[in-house]
Chains A and B, each alone.
Chain A
Amino acid sequence: MTLRHFIPPMLALIAAVSCSRGTSGTKAKGTKAASGEVVVYVSEDRVFSEPVLKEFEKRSGINVRAVYDTEEAKGTGVMNRLIAEKSHPRADVYWANEPIRAEVLHQRGIAEKYVSPSVAGIPAKFRDPEGYWTGFSARYRVIVVRSGLNPAPSSVSDYADGRFRGQGVIASPLFGTTAIHVAALFTLWGDTKARTFMDAVKSNGTLISSSNGESADFVARGRASFALVDSDDAVARIRRGEKISIVYPDQNHGQPGVLVLPNAVVLIKGGPNPENGRRLIDFLLSRDVETMLAKADCAQVPLHSGLRPPAELKPPAELKTMTIDYRRVAQKMMELQEYLKRWAAN
């Protein structure tokens, strides 16, 4: 047998696969007739967001074409794609996993105003006042503590407390929710107090990890006693049987409260399918989606009143939550670029 004998079947194979359809979503089979498509760029993990988008396809009959993101440090992310495509957008909707990205898009003139009817029931503090983005399905920034630790930290400020020297770990503040939390503290405390705190965190022997997940693992495995992480990271470890517990920081009088970071949805200005984009946003902001995301492994906290959070977490109504101006936080994050780079490197 020679190479010649393989050529016809190889050509046939190439021809066969070239005729295969090229969409990654299921073809909509809803009760309504298929009515076009919607393009969504998604920063929420694919394993959690894809089922939601498939449910939308089923209910609406609209074909969803999605671009999914990777972890912040791994790739350029869909944010940069949105920014690069600003002159001729390809996306209709952006599903962000935290509100600062949505605010950045607003500040760069990429977002379109849209106030969905589904926002009824979502507190105003979790959406842009002008309607450029709306929050839903949130995470808390919590402290996970090794079981049996006494005393346990109760405030973010305890990272600088000598009682907890060498016991804390925090994710690198260059990326993601830790960067947002640091920027939020800067807006609340002012630059001087915040920089003093950051210096004290370092000098107090705090470990720097690469991600919130890694921080949670450090505590679970005993390499650290406490860590500031996202609530979904904490819940995932608790469900795995790790010996850790959750502390909601800064709940006392005079303290800022726990930081709440909702997912956020943005209508993209100039997108090819604006009407379908609005329908998708209405769906994402619905109580059904919040219930789906609360029950999923991502353990998101519903913002609509009356919906139950995951069993391991308290509802927002029972907590003191941080009140921040997301616009100022987004601006502060950009200002802190070089400072955070130096802080993380040294």
Chain B
Amino acid sequence: MGTVLQYLDQEPFRFLLSVGAILFLVLNLAAVFTMAERKTSAYIQLRYGPNRVGPRGLLQPAADVFKLFSKENLSPSRADLWIFLGAPIAMFIPAALVWLVVPFAPNAVIADLNVAIVFFIAVTSIGALGLIMAGYGSRSTFSLLGAMRGAAQMISYEVPLILSLLGVIMLSGSLSLVDVVNAQGGGFWHWYFLPQLPMFIVFYIAGIAEARRVPFDLPEGESEIVGGFMVEYSGMTWGLIQAAEFASMGLISAITATLFLGGWQPPIEALDFGNFNWIWFGLKTALLVFTFQWIRWSLPRLRMDQLMDFGWKILVPICLIWLFVTAGLMLLFPSVF
């Protein structure tokens, strides 16, 4: 047994195992989130939700995936096939890749990069590329409009997303997510959401926009541009886009939990479960995902001009002001921080 573990800790086995684990996690996450989404929406809307397939409807995601696999992948005859078929992959891979740097528990992180936060920003930006590819490659007016909206939205909201991270980086003095989590140890009053409350809210809002969820789902806008950039997709290509969307929703929640809610740190020291602290990480992420869905099913959609106004005129100034406040406080009271 010991020898097997020894082998598993060495390259290339470690690499293969990590990739397998991440793919397993992300693909299952998509299934779990679909189910959670449908149940949450049902209870908000006075319905029961899926309750026929399997015990209490729990096998519904499996049935959905089976249906998607059995459907034909249609592509428009005028579509640019390489771009059209490459887009779902270009959207899915970045959403799955960032999970590499997320610390799940004290010793459970696949790659402890010293620039993990930069890695997160850089890789999530690639998702916008996939969106533009999808919209442009399908050669449809609706998807073109969706892609235009998506590009504008994701680039604009990257700015508050990055700015709101800076406070955490300044407080922890590190770009590594493991260090950020370690710096928040010792009870929930050490978590960064307290000193960085405005930044926490801005990061979460910008994260919703980055994950293209209501009220920022303009690239999709199913009541105006009927699905936007993904209007021409069907079968598993569509499924992959959906999986990417759910993965990025989970990712934004996980990163928010890591940066502002102490990652796997327990709320009070007495509840420290050692290596089982992933339970805390999971709970925080699940709570944030639920908030995502709660917002999704309660609010109408913004309009493009209102979206831009909100991003540039409200979120960015809040970030800049709080950045100066944080920096000033750190200069004035160096002993506290």
Is chain B found bound to chain A in the same assembly? no
